[in-house]
Amino acid sequence: MLPISAFIICKDEELYVERCIRSVSLCAEIILVDCGSTDGTLEVVRRLQKEGLPLRFIFEPWRGYGGQKQFALEQCSQEWCLSIDCDERLSPKLADALPDLISQGDVAAWKITRYDYLPGFGYVSPRTHERFHVRLFRRGLGAFNPDDRVHEGIRVNGRVEKVEQGGLLHFRPLPLSEQILKENNYSTLKATMKAERGLPPHPLKMIASPPVFFLRWYLRYGLWKYGWPGFIRAANGAIYSYLTEAKRYESAALRRVPPVEPEGPPGY
């Protein structure tokens, strides 16, 4: 077993959580923080615990993405911590690289890429220019911002390097109707978070941000290589970007002009 605590937050993840947990079974500790699953998630966890996996299940009411992951992190006891989502798995190459990564004493954290599964295509190629995010870090040197409602990141005190071998396999093949609902929910969380931090809306971003988002994902990250599934993935991101900025503007506009029907508007 490697001296790593893998920590996961979840709710209603019976379709995905088992493969996630098994992919990190080389870790000395697996922390699963659940905020109230009503499907078969708990049954999956109990079965895996009976198999002898080092899996600890904790119930914790929802705190928001940043707060929930920080709570899960605080339950970890090993020298290294690995943040992984229920719909992610360690790729074989990444699993093979872990012993070497955690043996490098001058590194505080590692950024890891993620390979998305595109419905209608499959996993993107390892040569795709995916983004890298901190996922593996020394306990005590990394933390989440509990106020992050969505897109929670890990702040690290120390040297950060990129993992060049392998990554996380992201498998959640949602139909487009469900993916749009997810983009809608995430955009609400992000718009709310920005408002709470006193960031004013900029209406021109409703025009500029969606095409910039699309082109960055489609061209820079290489989604053009994957035909129409890649186009759809980039377009979903553009929709998310538009909804975020539109909701920020609308919220501020409604505070200025409350939606109260006027009495006898002139000229009608």
The structure tokens listed for 48 are 């895996």
User: Strands 154-156 and 142-144, how do they pair?
Assistant: antiparallel
What's residue 131's pLDDT? 87
Q: Which of 111, 115, 110 is nearest to 127 (CA)?
A: 115
CA torsion angle for 106, 20, 116, 94 (degrees, to 10)?
30
Pair 168, 113: CB distance under 8 Å: yes
Q: Which of 77, 81, 67, 5 is nearest to 35 (CA)?
A: 67
The structure tokens listed for 176 are 């487009």
Pair 145, 153: CB distance under 8 Å: yes
Pair 247, 184: CB distance under 8 Å: no
In this structure, the number of other CB atoms found within 10 A of the CB of residue 192 comes to 16
Q: Give per-10-residue mean pLDDT for the chain (268 aa).
A: 97 97 98 97 97 98 97 98 98 97 96 96 87 96 94 95 95 95 96 93 96 95 95 97 97 90 76
The structure tokens listed for 257 are 């002009």
Q: CA 224, CA 208: separation in Å to the nearest integer?
A: 20
pTM score over 0.85: yes
